[in-house]
Structures are given as C-alpha cells and as structure tokens.
Amino acid sequence: MKHLILTFGTLLLNLLLFNCSNPADLKQNSWPTYAGSKEGNRYSSNDQINPANVSRLQVAWSYSSEDKDPDNRSQNQCNPIIVGDILYGTTPRLQLIALNAETGELRWKFDPASFDSTAKNDKYAYYKVNRGVTYWKDEKNNNERIFYNTGAKVWSIDVQKGSPDLQFGKGGYIDLSENLDRDPETYNAFIAATSPGVIYKNLLIMGHRVAESADAAPGHIRAFDVRTGELKWIFHTIPRPGEKGIETWEDQDAYKKFGGANSWAGMSLDEKRGIVYVPTGSIGGDFYGGIRKGQNLFGNSLIALDAATGKYIWHYQIVHHDLWDRDLAANPNLITLTKNGKKIYAVAQITKHGYIFVFNRETGEPIFPIEERKVPPTDLAGEEAWPTQPFPLLPQPFARQKFTLEDVSDIDPETTLELIEKFKKVKYGELFTPPSKEGVWIFPGFDGGGEWGGAAVDAETNIMYVNSSELPWALTIVDIVKNGNDKSLKGIGKSIYEKYCTACHGADRKGNGSSFPSLLSLNKKYSSEQTWNLIEKGKNMMPAFKQIKGFDKDALLAFLLDQEQPSKEPTAEKSTSTTNILDRVPYTTTGYNRFLDKNGYPGIKPPWGTLNAVDLTSGKLLWKVALGEFDELTKKGIPATGTENYGGPLVTKGGLVFIAATKDEKIRAFDKRTGEVVWQAPLPAAGYATPATYSINGKQYVVIACGGGKIGSKSGDSYVAFALGDKK
C-alpha cells in the first residue's frame, strides 16, 4: 500500500520519539473511561504489542449480541471501558453488557426494554446511538455503578447485579428532558445523550443531543448527584439576562426561544484543577440565522467550567454565528507542553473544518496565534453573517482547506465530465462562504474533517493522531413553499414535511444515500401506525418528533403515505407552540448532499480519508497517510485512496496507532513514527467506533465494536478482541 508521507516530518518525529523524557508512572493496564482517560487522550502505556511483533496479532475472542437491525440501519459506536477483568459496553439495541475481558464470555446483560412497558414490542425504540459508558466506585461502601444512556434516560446500573440502582432518580434512571430551566412546551421535545458523561467526585456531568431545527431544546450542561440523581448545578449555554454572553444576542429574550449550543460529543476533565472542558454545537437552525442575529454565545465554543459548581471560568468561540453546522464534534484533549523549558498545561480542540485550537488550560489564552479574518458576506435576504472567523496559524490543519475545479476527481475518465458539471452547478466559495440559493460547497464536509471519534495524543511526545474525511458536501438554500390554496390534508401535510423533514430527506422525498432513506412509496412498506411510531420515537440518528400532534400528525401521515382523505378541521390537540419559531424560518435546504460520482466514489481527488500526525509542541504536521482503500481501485493500480471514516484512533507506548473507522471493514495498526501500515485484519462489520486496549495476566488486548450501519455498510453486533499469537 502506498502512502502520502511527509519525509521531513517523519524524520522529526523519529527524533521526538527517541529523545523525549518519560513522564512519571504512565502504566495503564485498563481502559477505565471513555477515550481511555478523563483527559480524553486515547493513549495507553501498554507496550507489549509493538511494530516488531504486531504481525502476530490474531483474534483472541469475539462476542455477538445478536441484536443488529436486519435492515442494516443499526450501529454500534461504543468505545467500551475495561475495569479490572470486565469489559462494559453497549449493543445496537442499547443493551448494557458485561463481558469477561479475557475470554469474551457474557457475565450479565441489562435490557432497558424490560423496564419500559411502552417499548417492549417496539423494534425501533432502542436502535439508537451510544458511544460509551461511565464507571463510578464508592470507595467507602465498595459500591460500583455504570452510568449509560438510552435516549433521554441515563441509567445507574449496579455492576454486581446488572440491574438498576433503584435509589437513583426515578427508580434507576434520570430523564434529561426534565430540569432544563425552561417550559418544555416552548421547544422540540427531542433530547438524547449519545456520549457518556464524566465523573467529578460525586457528580455526573452530562451534555445531550438536541434537534437540528430552530425549535431545538436548550443544550444546558448539568451535573447530577451520582447516588441520588439529584440535579446539583446547571450552566446555561444560551445565557440569560445578567449572565456572561447575553451581550452576543441581538434578541435579549433568545434564551426563551432558541436551543442548541449543546455538548453531544463528550467532555474532558482536569481532575486536579477541578475544571471540566465542554465543547458545544451550533444554535438550533443550522443554516439560517436571520432569526438569531448576533455572535450567539455559547454556540460552537470550548467552555471551561468549575466542575464542582458549574461556574464559568473561560471560553473561546471557534465559529461565530454558525451557518455551516460546525459543531465541536469531539471531546478536547488535555495535554502538558514544554516550551522554553516551562511546562504549559493546555487543552487542544479538533474541529470539523480540520483545525486544532490549543489553549492554556487555566486561562484560555491561545498557545499559538489565532487570527480573526474577514470572511465572505451573505447574499441571503434576512441573514446577517458574522464578518470574521478565527483561524489558528498553528498547528497546521490536518485536512485540506480548499475545493476548486482543479480538485475534482479524475480517477475515472468516464465520470470526470459528469463531476465537473455537478461541480459547476454549485457556487464555489472559500471557507465560511455563507449558505445561499446558488449553493455552496462545504469542505471539509458536514461530518468533518475531525469528527466524534476524536483525536489520540501520545503522552510522551505530545504528538496528536487524528483521522479525517476529505469529502465535499453541497448545501443549497431554498424557499419554504407554503401550501397556499391547497387546504387538503395532504397539502397541509406537505407544509409540515417541509418544516421538519426536507433538510434530511429532500423536497422530493428521494432521500440521500443510506443515512437518509427515500420516503417514496412509504405506504407500501409501513402502515399509518408503523410510520407514526417511527416519527414519534425516532430511529438511529433520526430524532423523535413528539411535538407533532393531532391535526398536524394526520396531515403529515396523509402526505407521507399518499392517503386520499378529505380536508378536515384541526383537532383540539395541535402541535406545540414551538411551531411559532419554525414559522419564522423562511428557508430550508435541499438536504445533506455528498459529492459523489455515479459509482459512489467521492468526487474530489484522493485522499478521501487520512490519518495525520501533528506535533502539538511545534504545531507542525509530521505525516499524512491514506486511511482505508477500495480493493477494486487498488487492483486497477490506483494507490490507496482512503475512505470516508467514522471512529477514532488509539495510540500506545508500544509505538502503534490502532484505528478501524473505514468503509472497507478493516482494523489497522500504523507505525506511529512513520505512518506505515504494519498490520491489518478484516472485521465482521465496519468498526465505526474507537478501539480500546488493556492488559490481563500479562497479555495485551485491542478490542473494537463492529457495528457498521453507516454510509451503506452492513450492520453488525460484534465486539472483536485481538492479542499476540505464538511466535512463528
């Protein structure tokens, strides 16, 4: 396999690796938290497996939960934790499992459906996303708990019994849709937690996912008592009068109307200093901000909070007045740099647009210069784009930053002309060109660049390893067409569809790839009851739309299922008042459109997916290699192209970077000095998750969840662990 290697960077990396001083006591046999540590660095001091012997890796055990979706729409993005000799993880149907980490034998399983009478017979209720779990031990009483999320519920599970702690919350769980300091009738009811919380002393600090629309729920950060589930503090990410950040909103009543600014990707914790670092997403209404004018704090920000009280310490807003869905999509990395002989405790945040922002952990002062540069103005009526955006001068970006006609793929002469024509239909623009009716290229795409898999940082060298997708997406704004004189049930349903569904499934209902399926001929697949069940409860990454009620519900079903019904008067049970916000939004989009050729390959010149090494001390990009390949292209003599990728890397003291993440359903080990692939193995389904490593009885294991289910991949329900086999 050929790679794109930066020779000078590789030489520099070798010097760094062999001349660095060893931090004290880095030995880590377990993987006790999501991302390996509360610092979020996906690093392990295990060194039994190394470049010299990694070729001897073989499957040590595998476990199948046998609960994948037969329609290939389930996923498992869990980065499991290992405490002692037990692995704790989740399955596609969000069952919590405890496995013997040495053999893969099931110790116990907790099925949330068995505690939810409304979901026992609902095949879709628990096909959702979970990326990890949280462990807590009461040293005084020797009680151990696993906290994990199923939608809006956060369960406390007794690890000895595998059953809920009935003293916690509502008989074993807390509901994140409650206690948000706002009337729930004023926002979209969809709330879920996809990433685990962090534990500080006796507090469980949680973020959550919300809807993408303008009526999204608020994304406030909260801490709960680990024993009782009692709410202990809340930080308002959409500030109230008198709070920091209120001055960045033209509408001083924004906190009553808008949502988002939520932390869905996970947080990191400096336990010694008692500071939690919170990355946030955009304000609700991803692509039109004319109803939320201003800089919009605390959207798209890295926030440092006092972990004990939730009090504000500092923040940095990485995208102002976001119009591009540039959520901070991964937990930050807490690192210790040495500059001019002085230690600097720092925090590094990767972004979807391929940058790394590095700050002093205590003060928020940038470690490298950041420039506020002018960016293109908007031409969309009603919008007021922010005139500048921040650009870090260092570290060097890990993803390409431009997409022009010259970058259109030419790997297949039969598709090049077609791609050029598609390219010309969308207005080319530089980074941060605002959305418009002419369309604009989002590159790196909506899913990164950097994504929820996060980055790994070597504790000895402060070299960051981060994967990136290199795929343009097209964003085009269109007017929301009201139903006008069409007062039929289907006509009104069309307006409701445009309000809630067009951005994902398209105005023509044709969908967009496997992530957003076509809704045409839906009546041949589902009954009214089944369709409504999906809409109301959600499935996988589709949110629930519980706020659509009564007459609106009947109208939407009539449109989706092509039901010929006479007009009917609205019933008493109408949709919630959140529609007032949505009625003020004049535009929607034509959906999330990847730039692909007719064969499904990205329309940009390779690499389409990369793994990168960045020195966080100097800010230099050391090497970049292709991550993944398409066998059929490799056989034609085309160098490895990389693939779109989801999931993160793991770096070890033993000299290796392990990562799956690729569409070709493989896990690989890279030599961390050079970027050379030194081992790879097939998986039963794509490993769109981050691997973990641990050691038991002197043997090191690497384990990965194989859930598939994204970007056309088949779904899986296995965990596969690898260890060294006998010497040959």
496 token code pair: 């409701």
pLDDT at 20 over 50: no
The answer, yes or no, to whether residue 517 has pLDDT greater than 80, is: no
Tokens 């690729």 identify what position?
Answer: 662
Other CB atoms within a 10 A radius of the CB of residue 525 amount to 11
C-alpha to C-alpha distance for 200 and 205, rounded to whole angstroms: 7
Alpha-carbon distance 350 to 329, whole Å? 8
Give the long-range contacts of residues 596-601, CB within 8 A, separation 24 or more: 597/409, 597/412, 597/415, 597/418, 597/419, 598/415, 598/418, 599/412, 599/415, 600/712, 601/409, 601/411, 601/412, 601/415, 601/630, 601/633, 601/641
Residue 681 or residue 492, greater confidence: 681
Q: Which of 447-451, 484-488, 572-576 has the lowest mean pLDDT?
A: 572-576
Q: Which DSSP helix (H) or strand (E) runs through 159?
A: none
* Backbone phi and psi for residue 53, each to the nearest 5 degrees, phi listed first: -120, 0
| Residues 142 and 122: beta-carbon distance below 8 Å | no
Among 463, 468, 650, 462, CA closest to 42: 650
**Torsion angle of the four alpha carbons 668, 673, 674, 679, in this order, in degrees rounded to the nearest 10:** -20
CB-count burial class (<10 Å; 0-12, 13-18, 19+) for 99: buried
Q: One-letter amino acid identity for 100?
A: N
Tell me the pLDDT band of 375, cut-offs 50, 70 and 90: very high
- Please report, in angstroms and rounded to a whole number, the separation of the first and last CA atoms in the chain: 24
* Distance, CA of 545 to CA of 576 (rounded, Å): 11
Q: Is 156 exposed, middle or buried (0-12, 13-18, 19+ CB in 10 A)?
A: buried
Structure tokens at 719: 């965990």
Rounded CA-CA distance 169/152 in Å is 13
Helix axis angle, 550-560 to 528-537, nearest 10°: 120
Confidence (pLDDT) at 568:
47
Query: How far apart are alpha carbons 676 and 670 in whole angstroms?
Result: 5
Could you read off the pLDDT of 288-340 as tens digits, one per residue? 999 999 999 999 999 999 999 999 999 999 999 999 999 999 999 999 999 88
Does residue 543 have a pLDDT over 60? yes
Percentage of the chain exceeding pLDDT 70: 90
pLDDT of amino acid 48: 98
Question: Per-residue pLDDT tens for 219-265?
Answer: 999 999 999 999 999 999 999 999 999 999 999 999 999 999 999 99
Question: What is the per-residue pLDDT for 541?
Answer: 61
What is the structure's pLDDT at 637? 94
Domains 7-476+595-724 and 481-584 share a fold: no
Q: Tell me what the pLDDT averaged over the chain comes to.
A: 90
pLDDT of 557 = 86
Q: Measured between alpha carbons, how far is 714 from 728 in angstroms, rounded to an integer? A: 35
At the fourth CATH level, which superfamily is domain 7-476+595-724? Quinoprotein alcohol dehydrogenase-like superfamily (2.140.10.10)
Extents of the domains making up the chain? 7-476+595-724, 481-584
Cis peptide upstream of residue 449 (ω within 30 degrees of 0): yes
Give the pTM: 0.91
pLDDT > 90? residue 9: no
Query: What pLDDT, on a 0 to 100 scale, did the predictor assign at position 24?
Result: 32
What residues form DSSP beta bridges with 70?
Answer: none
Among residues 693, 723, 720, the alpha carbon closest in space to that of 707 is found at 720
**Is residue 194 classed as helix, strand or coil in its secondary structure?**
coil
The strand pairing partners of 450, in sequence order, are none
Q: Which of 200, 75, 2, 12 is nearest to 646 (CA)?
A: 75
| Per-residue pLDDT reduced to its tens digit, 403-431 | 999 999 999 999 999 999 999 999 888 99
Contact between 509 and 494 under an 8 Å Cβ cutoff? The reply is no
Q: Bridge-partner residues for 90, per DSSP?
A: 96
Which alpha helices (H) appear in 277-427, and where do they start and end?
Answer: 413-424
Q: Residue 540: its pLDDT value, please? A: 60
- Three-state SS for 257? coil
Helix (H) or strand (E) holding 64: strand 57-64
pLDDT at residue 484 is higher than 80: no
Confidence of residue 17 (pLDDT cuts 50, 70, 90): very low
620: amino acid identity, one letter: K
CATH C-level class of 481-584: mainly alpha
| pLDDT tens, residue by residue, 45-103 | 999 999 999 999 999 999 999 999 998 989 999 999 999 999 999 999 999 999 999 99
Q: How far apart are CA 358 and CA 351, in angstroms?
A: 11
CB 533 within 8 A of CB 122: yes
Per-residue burial over 565-596, b if 16 or more Cβ lie within 10 Å, else e, is eeeeeeeeeebbebbebbeebebbbbbbbbbb
Angle between helical axes of 550-560 and 489-500 (0-180°, round to 10): 90
The predicted pLDDT at position 483 comes to 59
Give the whole-angstrom CA distance, residue 465 versus residue 456: 5
Q: Is the pLDDT of residue 572 over 50?
A: no
- Over range 642-656, report the average pLDDT: 98
Pick from 22-26, 479-483, 624-628 the range whose average pLDDT is largest.
624-628
Whether 451 contacts 329, CB under 8 Å: yes
C-alpha to C-alpha distance for 196 and 131, rounded to whole angstroms: 7
